[in-house]
Amino acid sequence: MGNPTAAMLVIGDEILSGRTRDANMHYLAGELTKQGIELREVRIVSDDHAGIVDAARALSGRYDHVFTSGGIGPTHDDITADAIAEAMGAAIDIREDARALLAEHYRAQGSELNAARLRMARIPEGAALIDNPVSIAPGFTIGNIHVMAGVPTVFQAMVASVLPSIAGGKPLLSQSLRIYRGEGDIAGPLADLAGRFPALSFGSYPFQKDGVFGAQIVVRGFDGGQIDAAMAELAQLLEA
Q: Residues 91-117: pLDDT tens digits?
A: 999 999 999 999 999 999 999 999 999
Which CATH fold would you assign to the domain 173-239? Answer: Alpha-Beta Plaits (3.30.70)
Residue 2 has pLDDT above 90, yes or no: no
33 pLDDT band, cuts 50/70/90, is very high
pLDDT in tens, 133-146: 999 999 999 999 99
Which letter does DSSP use for residue 119 in this model? G
132 pLDDT band, cuts 50/70/90, is very high
% of the chain residues with pLDDT over 70: 99
Residue 94's contacts (CB-CB under 8 Å, 6 or more residues apart) are: 118, 121, 122, 123
Residue 137's contacts (CB-CB under 8 Å, 6 or more residues apart) are: 72, 73, 98, 101, 102, 120, 121, 149
% of the chain residues with pLDDT over 90: 84
Helix (H) or strand (E) holding 178: strand 173-179
Question: Whole-angstrom Cα distance, residue 113 to residue 83?
Answer: 24
Q: Give CATH 3.30.70.600 domain extents, the chain.
A: 173-239
179 pLDDT band, cuts 50/70/90, is confident
Helix (H) or strand (E) holding 238: helix 224-239
Which CATH fold would you assign to the domain 5-165? Answer: Molybdenum Cofactor Biosythetic Enzyme; Chain A (3.40.980)
Q: Give CATH 3.40.980.10 domain extents, the chain.
A: 5-165
Which letter does DSSP use for residue 133 in this model? T
